[in-house]
Amino acid sequence: MEYLAAQKQKDAWENKPCDHPHLEKEYYVGCYLINFVCTQCGKEFTIAEKLEMDLILKKKRRSFS
Ligand SMILES: [Zn+2]
């Protein structure tokens, strides 16, 4: 997701609750940044935070199945 698009998305979302269903790598003028961004609310995540969320999601999925 493009950096400026993410910022717009963040403004539009207005800090509503979001469970961040889909994270994408963030890029700016064709260059990837090191962050990930939620396509729904525009919140930025570091790689460490994304890995942590992946683990939490995996755990959740395991406990539901
Ligand atoms: Zn989100």
Residue 36 burial (CB count, 10 A)? 23
Q: pLDDT digit string (tens) for 6-23?
A: 999 999 999 999 999 999
Distance 31 CA to ligand 1 centre (A): 22
This prediction's pTM: 0.79
Whether 42 contacts 9, CB under 8 Å:
yes
pLDDT for position 41 = 97
DSSP 46: -
Question: H or E segment at 36?
Answer: strand 31-38
Average pLDDT of the chain to the nearest whole number: 91
pLDDT at residue 33, rounded to an integer: 82
pLDDT band at 60 (very low <50, low <70, confident <90, very high): confident
Distance 65 CA to ligand 1 centre (A): 24
Q: What pLDDT digit, counting tens, does each position of 46-55 carry?
A: 999 999 989 9
Q: Concatenate the DSSP letters of all residues of 3-24 into one string.
A: HHHHHHHHHHHTT-------EE
For ligand 1, the distance from its centroid to the CA atom of residue 41, given in whole angstroms, is 4
Q: How far is the CA of 44 from the centre of ligand 1 (A)?
A: 9
